[in-house]
A and B are shown apart, each in its own frame.
Chain A
Amino acid sequence: MTSVAAYGRPELPATTPRPIRIGSEHELRSALGGLSGVDAVGLEARAAKLGTRSLKQDTKKAAIDLAITMVDLTTLEGADTAGKVHALCTKAMRPDASDLSVPPVAAVCVYPDLVQVAVRALGNSGVNIASVATAFPSGRASLAIKLADVHEAVAAGATEIDMVIDRGAFLSGNIGKVFDEIVAVKEACGAAHLKVILETGELVTYDNVRRASWIAMLAGADFIKTSTGKVGVNATIPVTLLMLEAVRDFALEMGNVVGVKAAGGIRTTKDALKYLVVVNETAGSRWLSPDYFRFGASSLLNDLLMQRTKQATGSYVRADRFSGD
């Protein structure tokens, strides 16, 4: 048995990434075979308990600023236009024009055909350009079309690609197809970071979420992401906690640090801070960075700005004090 002295630091040991070799569906199944089941009651109880943490004073201020830097400011509507995306980019670079101490967000997230607009608007601001691709949100298209979607977004200047997995394939047991598609998309991404959307609301069970997380990580995901924001159930704290356990375990086992993006339905500072507590106490401070944790959101940013002002001045300001986009 291992000596006890080696155990016990909450932070992860520094490890060098091990090469991942999954050569067949059989190997993929054996890699997933060792995963432990998830007890839904216990997972939800843990999430609820972490929700009672109380962030005060400097911690709250720091957490609000950190949350702002983690936002992928998103617009994914059929009605999106160049004008809408331009406005969003302006907001992303300088969320509060009257307070320059507010940091920029992590990225804007748009459909592939609007990436060019974002590229022009963001220039060299450092704000990333994320684009959903692979027949978002349903993913119901051939691999060729999905890859073309990715190529187009990357060629237009997207630095991050948010793909969807084939939930139909996953639910019908064809996990090899899910894996292969992610590998192919990762290759098509080139230097762009790949976020793999599991669409947990359609996977339904926590056991499925854990398996899908590992499939995505083994296939080369830089991030695993909860949701498209387009189905009934989007990011929840228990699901995010579970995915953070997955990236923590993956880092311990393989040495690769994969990020997590919680997307859809996170609208308030109070919720965002709960997520940060879950990040902090599940994966650890390594993940308390926009490099490894993101919020896919739109209305969240203004609530963060409002609470930030409240922390600085002691009073609330009206919502119209902050720009709509």
Chain B
Amino acid sequence: MSDHTPLSSLNSLQYAPAPESRAVVTLQSAYGHFINGDFTNPASSEQFATLNPATGEQLATVAQGSDADVDAAVAAARKAYEKVWSKLPGSERAKYLFRIARLIQERSRELAVLETLDNGKPIRETRDIDVPMAAAWFFYYAGWADKLDYAGFGPQPAALGVAGQVIPWNFPLLMAAWKIAPALAAGNTVVLKPAETTPLSALLLADIIRQAGVPDGVVNIVTGDGRTGAALVNHPGINKVAFTGSTEVGRIIQSAVAGSGKKLTLELGGKGANIVFADAPLDETIEGIIDGIFFNQGHVCCAGSRLLVQESIHDDVIERLLRRVEQLRVGDPLDKNTDVGAINSAAQLAKITELSDAGVLEGATRFTSSCALPSTGFFFAPTVFTGVEQTHRIAREEIFGPVLSVLTFRTPEEAVAKANNTTFGLAAGIWSEKGSRTLWMAERLRAGVIWANTYNKFDPTSPFGGVRESGFGREGGRHGLESYLNV
């Protein structure tokens, strides 16, 4: 009977390549900014390249936003706010948000492929998570636009005016949606600066916004590096700064904005504790640990990068976890079966490498997946450090890559103490079948988001944000409106 069994290409998890076609995306060779409802001439700006991190190939060049570009964008946003957007009833603003949401759905494949090309994250994630969630964010906040009176902030809460928004490279489209949707729903206009290494999906979103007929100047997108971001944040014409990114830059922004009267929200780094008790549902916990740290190559501010395992089940958990890490399919992000894609940039790869090397030097035990890595582009094999101590850099600093640090604890009190022993406070996970202990833990963990028996789950109805060096302000849910209203 077994003689008939054709195993050749199914053995050892070998799946034939299943690449998503990139033909659905039409790239320009050069892009301008999106200001006042139109794209500026690329030739009128200094240009810089954006790469496909999986191959190193140049995808396009985009404009380096100058002070004058930021001025023009802020002026357009101000004019749109005063002349059009602030005069529209909420139901009219909702109409545009619903249109954007539907167009994101209609053009979802194009967005997913483009995001994967520019960011390096697997098509499975852009297709199943980033793009559908971006649409969901617009749908959700579209629903709020005509109900602000009932959001719990008193009657007729006022918009702030022009919001300057600076977003990171880890979820380029999704972060644009997180920023733009609540801002517009609350009645603000925006100037958004996407990250230097991942500007393309925001520019495609600009095209969608134009297609949706959103009035000129309501959304403006200026590309560029940190200098452009600084020009935007420091611009006297904006009323609100929303930033998602590193704690270092967040500090600079907070100092810059201090005393200016600008409202500020910061969503910064993290060193999330994923806490596993001996009575955890083990198989699902392993999947949760994997999702917690290897989702999006670990480029997630709320990543569960510190695994705290109850000592009594440490060996069993590690054995199962490492077996599972070996199964992760690392490679071409456009392949539908890829689990872990490319690191976004050479600089980030260098940072991950440096911190991992430090982990070895400090005495932790390194396990790295034996997976083959592509010969081009920026890749880092999934890595787990065991025997990590609280003093190690890999237990304290945000690595922002596919690197997990495993620590142990003995009692719930010790788990709380270790989990809270960080300057960050963005997210934590608790794995246990005992609900009373989970709630006891949740009350004591200093983190903005706490997941129980799951990790890295997001929903537009649920507020997200940090405490301490992970920032302040909330995105998502009713709370997310408050960041864009004068309350």
Give A residues with C-beta under 8 Å from B.
1-2, 4, 7-11, 36-39, 41-43, 45-46, 52-60, 62-63, 65-66, 69, 103-104, 106, 126, 128, 242, 245, 276, 280-281, 285, 288-291
Q: Please tell me if B248 contacts chain A, counting CB pairs below 8 Å.
A: no
Contact (Cβ within 8 A) A8 B337: no
Measured in the bound complex, the distance between the Cα atoms of B88 and A111 in whole Å is: 73
- What are the residues of chain B within 8 A of A41 when measuring CB–CB? 284, 453-454
**Contact residues of B between 1 and 56, Cβ < 8 Å to A:** 1-2, 4-18
A42 to B454 CA separation, bound complex (whole angstroms): 7
Task: Assess whether A60 is in contact with B7, with CB atoms less than 8 Å apart.
Answer: no
B7 close to A59 (CB less than 8 A): no
Interface residue B326 (Cβ < 8 Å from any Cβ of A): yes
| B16, B314, B433 interface centre (most CB from chain A within 10 Å) | B16
Which positions in B face A, CB cutoff 8 Å? 1-2, 4-18, 124, 128, 279-285, 287-288, 314-315, 318-319, 322-323, 325-327, 336-337, 365-367, 369-370, 386-387, 433, 453-454
Find chain A residues with CB under 8 A from B327 CB: 10, 281
Chain B residues near A103: list those with CB within 8 A: 4, 6
The 24 listed contacts between A and B (C-beta, < 8 Å) are A1-B314, A2-B315, A4-B322, A4-B366, A8-B367, A10-B12, A39-B284, A39-B453, A42-B283, A42-B285, A46-B284, A52-B128, A54-B336, A55-B15, A57-B16, A242-B283, A245-B283, A281-B13, A285-B7, A285-B10, A285-B12, A285-B13, A288-B5, A290-B5
Q: Which of A8, A11, A62, A285 contacts B370 (CB 8 A)?
A: A8
Question: What are the residues of chain A within 8 A of B5 when measuring CB–CB?
Answer: 66, 69, 288-290
Extra 7 A-B pairs, beta carbons < 8 Å, given A42-B287, A285-B12 = A4-B365, A10-B327, A42-B285, A59-B14, A288-B11, A290-B1, A291-B2
**CB contact under 8 A between A8 and B325, given known A65-B6, A285-B12, A288-B7:** yes
A11 to B327, CA, bound (A): 10
Q: Bound state CA distance, A279 and B464, in angstroms?
A: 36
Contact A126 B454 (CB under 8 A): no
Contacting residue for A104 out of B4, B15, B319, B326, CB 8 A = B4
Across the interface, which residues of A come within 8 angstroms of B10, CB to CB?
59, 62-63, 66, 276, 280, 285, 288
Bound Cα distance A63, B284 (Å)? 27
- Which residues of chain A are within 8 angstroms of B281 by Cβ–Cβ distance? 36-39, 42
* Known contacts A42-B453, A55-B18, A36 near B283 by CB under 8 Å: yes
- Please report the C-alpha to C-alpha distance between residue A9 and residue B325 in the assembled complex, in whole angstroms: 9
Contact between chains at A59 and B15 (CB < 8 Å): yes
Min CB distance A79 to B, Å, is 29
- Distance in Å: Cβ of B384 to nearest Cβ of chain A: 8
Docked CA distance A41–B124 (Å)? 20
The minimal Cβ–Cβ distance linking A187 to chain B, given in whole angstroms, is: 25
CA–CA, A9 and B326, complex, Å: 6
A209 nearest CB across to chain B (Å): 12
Bound CA span A285–B8, Å: 11
Cβ contact within 8 Å between A38 and B323: no
Query: What's the Cα separation between A306 and B8 when bound, in Å?
Result: 22
**A43→B283 contact, CB < 8 A:** yes
Separation of A9 and B285 alpha carbons in the complex (Å): 19
* Cα separation A281 to B284 with both chains bound (whole Å): 14
Docked CA distance A8–B457 (Å): 27
- Contact indicator A53/B365 (Cβ below 8 Å): no
**Chain B positions within 8 Å of A65 at CB level:** 4, 6
Interface centre among A2, A54, A57, A281 (most CB of B within 10 A): A54
Q: How far is the CA of A192 from the CA of B165 in the complex (A)?
A: 70
Closest-by-CB residue of A relative to B313 is A36
Kindly report which residue of chain A lies nearest to residue B319, judged by CB atoms: A7
Q: How far is the CB of A28 from chain B (nearest CB, A)?
A: 21
Closest CB in chain B relative to A292 CB, distance in Å = 10
CB distance from B360 to the nearest CB of A (A): 12
8 A-B pairs with the lowest CB-CB distances in the bound complex, closest first:
A42-B284, A103-B4, A36-B282, A54-B18, A39-B281, A7-B322, A39-B284, A54-B336
Assembled-state Cα–Cα distance A39/B13 (Å): 26
Q: Are A37's CB and B279's CB within 8 A?
A: yes
A41–B315 Cα gap in the complex (Å)?
25
**Is A2 within 8 A of B326, CB to CB?**
no
Per the bound structure, the CA–CA distance linking A126 and B367 in Å amounts to 46
Contact across chains for B7 and A289 when beta carbons are under 8 A apart: yes
Q: Which residue of A lies closest to B279 (CB)?
A: A37
Most chain B CB within 10 A, of A4, A11, A60, is at A4
Known contacts A8-B323, A36-B280, A126-B1; decide if A46 and B12 are in contact (CB<8 Å): no
Which of A53, A62, A104 is close to B6, meaning CB atoms less than 8 Å apart? A62
A56 near B9 with CB under 8 A, answer: no
| B2 adjacent to A290 (CB under 8 Å) | yes
Which residues on B sit within 8 Å (CB–CB) of A288? 5, 7, 10-11
Q: In the complex, which residues of chain B have a beta carbon less than 8 angstroms from the beta carbon of A285?
A: 7, 10-13
Select one of B280, B285, B326 contacting A8, CB under 8 A: B326
With a 10 A CB-CB cut-off, give which of A59, A65, A242 has the most chain B CB atoms. A59
- Residues of A with C-beta under 8 A to B287: 42, 45-46
Inter-chain CA distance A126–B1, complex, in Å, is: 6
Residue pair B367, A289 in contact (C-beta under 8 Å): no
Nearest A-chain residue to B287, judged by Cβ? A46
B9 close to A59 (CB less than 8 A)? yes
Instruction: For residue A4, give the distance in angstroms from its CB to the closest CB of chain B.
Output: 5
B4 cross-chain contacts in A, Cβ below 8 A? 65, 69, 103-104
Say whether B16 contacts A37, CB under 8 Å. Answer: no
CA gap between A254 and B438 in the complex, in Å? 33
Instruction: Tell me the nearest residue of chain A to B367, going by C-beta.
Output: A4
